[in-house]
Amino acid sequence: MVIDCHYHLEERVFSAERLVREMDARGIHKAALMGSMVSPFKEPPPFLIAVLQRLLESPVTRPIARRLVSDFTDKGEVKILGRPYPIDPDPDNDKVFETVERYPGRFLGWVFVNPRGSRDPVAEYERCKDRPGFVGVKAHPFWHHFRPVELEAVARRLADAGKPLLIHAGFGEEGDFEALLARVPNLKLILAHAGFPEYRQTWERIKDRPNVYLDVSQTSYTSRRATFQAAEFLGPGRILFGTDGPYGFHGPDGVYDYGFIKRRIERLFPDKTVRERILGGNFAEVAGLS
């Protein structure tokens, strides 16, 4: 079972029907959907991405990279290649679960919460937790500008239910997931994008926390090198396949290449048992699907 644990439902790029076709073509059996935060944008050229990844992965040059990726307008828009894009404070959970229900067996659903948005995270969790396909809660401290510890109340409910919290950590206080774990130590926590933005320094902090995992989604933030080294450092049982689609590298036809990260994992991990765990087995266990 191959499961993409991190996909944004953005039908301006791929309709749900088109996504199912892409999944079939790429050998992906299920995708865990979450709401879209931002309208589709032009991806930076691969050579610029390679430079950015090198800058991010080194603590010496990371401050330079931070100025490039943590670039927001006074209105809270994120700037990508100099162009501002509005960020949705309350991504659409109903659309996600309606899609899950329309395609039984193909999709799972994350409940997207934002403690600085208009919906109370606990109330939103309670509203959605019994819907078919529910796997956990997703939050974005980086773009929504909050401290992970602000998720404590909903994290406690997740821990009691044995369900994971997936976060995209940010810089400084927006990346302080340890304060949250200090209050909810038994939480299953997934850090997106190989532990962005501190990578190895994050891996060192979670080495002895077996309930903290990494997804290796997104071609901009997660390099081939970081993917391999994270698995080597933490062990393959802590690594989860995700894409962060439909954002990422495009193929020669100019369309988002949904199979890119899966192919990367298949090349990096030739051992069948390791590969199968990363591509779906680990997430199935974390989310209570197996």
Average pLDDT of the residues in 37-66: 93
**45, burial (CB in 10 Å: exposed 0-12, middle 13-18, buried 19+):** exposed
Structure tokens at 268: 């990096």
- Residue 290: pLDDT over 80: no
Residue 5: pLDDT over 90: yes
Domain ranges of the chain: 3-41+90-286
Query: pLDDT-derived band of residue 256, with 50, 70 and 90 as boundaries?
Result: very high
* pLDDT for 224 beyond 80: yes
Q: How much is the pTM?
A: 0.97
Of the candidate CATH numbers 3.40.50.300, 3.20.20.140, 3.20.20.80, 1.10.10.10, the domain formed by 3-41+90-286 belongs to 3.20.20.140
Report, in angstroms and rounded to the nearest whole number, the Rg of the chain calculated over CA atoms.
17
Position 249 scores a pLDDT of 93
More confident residue, 205 or 82: 205
The pair phi, psi for residue 173, each rounded to 5°, is -60, -25
Q: In whole angstroms, how far apart are CA 71 and each of 87, 162, 279?
A: 13, 35, 32
Tens of pLDDT, residue by residue over 53-64, are: 999 999 999 999
pLDDT digits (tens, 9 = 90+) for 138-178: 999 999 999 999 999 999 999 999 999 999 999 999 999 99
Q: What is the mean pLDDT of the chain?
A: 96
| Residues 218, 168: Cα–Cα separation, whole Å | 11
pLDDT in tens, 84-126: 999 999 999 999 999 999 999 999 999 999 999 999 999 999 9
Give the pLDDT of residue 151. Answer: 98
For the chain, strand residue ranges (E) read 3-9, 30-35, 78-80, 83-85, 107-112, 134-139, 164-167, 188-191, 212-215, 239-240
